[in-house]
Structure 1
């Protein structure tokens, strides 16, 4: 076993001798800047120290003679007997002072147990209250402070750890306190505690220690299982955990003057003969080298003094050579800059010449245009008038065409149903297709698709979703969407309901597009016929009379059919020869609408409107493929 001094310098003595660990830091290098934390183990506020001249056992306590626990313990039928003595009580022989020596030895060897009579009561609440009282008497609120010599205020004050018997405080860093504190190895630690029964904190431990006197416990407390004394204070350093079993600083052995004296007064330390000879030869070599250096320096100075003029001439020649090289380089740079300037000058001359020629040509063109300007102004005015007239006529023709379309496909409201309309006598719901007549809806959508197709043609507005009107089998295409597996959608009810509804949605989008091109706003895109009726109402609005039809149309087609060749269809003879045809003949034309007889009646009345009057020509209605 090593001495305490040896334990302080590198070992850990009686605390952890079996572990055979050594701290990485030397004791002399242990300063306050290395201290990281403090913890307390086995906290005891009021230690149990009872001193009596005479031991008291259960039989001598008057108020416990008739307790239920004692009666139960003394019962004859009770097989388990509780201990009748407290800890460290004397034997009955010692209490009375009688008995032989053998009896005393036998009593000392007898095992002793704590009294368990107070815990043999039947009530669990009483036992719980007793445990709570014991716990409250052991637990306390603790905090500590660190003081250094020469500083009045404490350098560190910890937080308060409440209700703990083994409090562990937060780690800290004393480097922020300055070198006076961080480089010191002396400190004073004061531990303050307070239980629930106390009103103020009391100073429990005041420890003045030198950090070199700490004993090494281990790198951590995880594997340390040896008992520690009461109120043990553990110090956590970067290299491990230390505790203070004594505050005596370690004894460091130093060499005395007696140890430095030689063993014999006649023995003197000196060098060998060979070493002395080597030193002498080395000194001679050094002196010879110094003399040679001085001689060479004097020779060089003499040569330089004799050839001073030649050296000066050589220096001037070198300077002239450098100046010549610099001059040649500057001349080459100036020549290059001159070539660039000459090329720039030639380019500017050519550019000015080209600009002069362009200006001359421009003046000639301007003079020529100025001579034609009066005629062009007259043509511009006449062209503007003609354009305005054509635009006005186009508006009138569009109005007349829309009137004809309304006559062909009349859109009328259904009495008693708001925003419900019919087209050519067939009702069309507003995008709600539950419990409908499939054939009637298909025919109505065919009429609507044909009307939208004709409006896009006469208004010269290409619709985004092309329509192919085939009456009750009409279809619509979607070339805009990217992620669609199919591009064609039916405008008649089919088994796949979403394809039909999507086709009606595309038709409504076409109507919205036509209205937006005319500057109209759609309130609800799902109202197919109301929106279409609103568009036709705006297109047919006007106070002037409808313009007459231009030559051509149905009457021209009839005349062309009676003409034998294409060259005769537009002549005056062919037109005159077609006057004997009865125009009412076309009033008997019927349109097949998916086998629906009601639609034939509406189409017959619509065909009557196509008969030209005596003062107008036929309407150029382009019928779709039936």
Structure 2
């Protein structure tokens, strides 16, 4: 009959076979460790590590350096092996061997030289000189063959072994070594006891440097805080002295104020008279400004355009001046370039520039962009900013003061000048009107591009007021001069003509070259001075 084989494993998967092998070997695997016991000692002198799940365990080498001569000199030891498996859940003693070190059997330098089977539960000892074991029965034991010695002997001379004296000296030397080891261990134990006894004192001694360092740190911090405190006290004393001086000054000022208040109470009637006089003079100045603005309004009449399609279209002395916002109007009016350039420059913009200059003089409001009325060649200056030019040559010319003044002067006429300079000059003129309205009367301008409407509004506000307009003082323009007053009827001939020409230049800006308003005033002063001298001579 055919022998029964592993038929159930024939078609099994590798996983099934692996599980089967693991289940078979798991029943035989066990965890094992051993202990070494000495006679007269209850506790084991050595406990090995635990080797898990094995049938042929191998343990680490034993280090006997921690044991004394009472253990290392023993010739008899007891080995006990403890196991635990899947079936046995608790540790149980498997084997106990009464080991006599003199009965160990030498197997060879290593196990490769031993070719016989070892009995069950055999214990093999690996030493420095070879492998040893102990057999329960030595019947089947055959010692390993001894390799022939390669050392050749010459002759039949025998070598002597160690003598009794040499062995005795070795024994004494071993006793001395063991005594030295015992003494060393005792000294180490005594030192350890001494250290444990003086542990608190040693700890305190180690803490002394730390305490000294901490004390130095605290001392340094204390000195630093003391310096800061001295500085703060010094600053406090200085502030107290300063406050004391301020209190003295405040007391002196209060005393002086009281004295001044008493003087003012004594002079109250006179101060009231001065206050009334100031109010009267302010009203008189306002009335005179109203009268002057009325005269300017009659000299330069600004009236609506008769055939205007828009309400804010005016003429000055009968000549129209379109606004600067013609690009945004629908339908747009004719641009400034399509009008008569001479009429626009000489009769219109020149009149507006002259009128703005006179208003700034009479209203005592400085203009940031002073105009220079010259009729058809009127200009305006911008001392604040300078327009950037695209050419390098024009940029280099700004280093010269004369060229810089020429670049800062913008024309109020469009004939023969760049378009952008003319438009910028017109913008500066409109800004002057806006500044007069906002500075003198605090009126906000809605659209700065409306030249004549804004100027008409300025005159309307300047001439508004209660009461009748004051009459012109006797002497006419001489009332505005600081020179000597000349009686009426003194000027004759050329003097009257000179005065008339000066007044005309002052009011209307006539003249060429240096014939400006301030030059007209100086000419008028000189003429009045000559007339005054002639009058005195005649009276004399």
How high is the TM-score relative to the length of structure 2? 0.46
Larger Rg: 1 or 2?
2
Q: Which has the higher contact order (CA 8 A, sep 6+)?
A: 1
Q: Give me the TM-score of the superposition, normalised by structure 1.
A: 0.41
The answer to which structure has the higher helix fraction is 2
